[in-house]
Amino acid sequence: MAKNKKLTRSRSNRLIGGVLGGFAEYFGWDATLVRVIFVVVSFFSTAFPGILVYILAWILMPDAPTKSHYYSDQTRKDVTPDDTDRP
């Protein structure tokens, strides 16, 4: 069964807000290419206010969920160092 993909702001591929990185991850494109296309379209088009669209997308798009470390049986892994292991 295929996973349902959601359009979210990227946590790992962000320069400012992760909006364009999120679009790139959603569509499977290169984030740098998406950024270059966005800047070029924003620069040459007066009908496309790029900064306003970016800010609106930043507000409306949810942030990507944080990734937790889990074992294969879905129990959470404790990554806190234990003081009893010290010599």
pLDDT in tens, 45-82: 877 788 888 888 889 888 877 766 555 555 555 556 65
Any domain includes 48: yes
* Structural contact between residues 51 and 38, judged by C-beta atoms closer than 8 angstroms: no
Any domain includes 26: yes
Q: How confident is the model at residue 32 (pLDDT cuts 50, 70, 90)?
A: very high
Any domain includes 1: no
Any domain includes 55: yes
Q: How confident is the model at residue 1 (pLDDT cuts 50, 70, 90)?
A: very low
What is d(CA 39, CA 44) in angstroms, rounded to the nearest whole number?
9
Any domain includes 68: no
State the pTM of this model. Answer: 0.65
Any domain includes 58: yes
What is the percent of the chain where pLDDT is above 70? Answer: 72
Q: Higher confidence at residue 86 or residue 32?
A: 32
Any domain includes 24: yes
Residue 36 has pLDDT above 90, yes or no: yes
* Structural contact between residues 20 and 34, judged by C-beta atoms closer than 8 angstroms: yes
Please give the tally of structural domains in the chain.
1
Any domain includes 2: no
Boundaries of domain holding 15: 7-63
Q: What's the burial of 45, exposed, middle or buried (CB within 10 Å: 0-12/13-18/19+)?
A: exposed
pLDDT for residue 10: 84
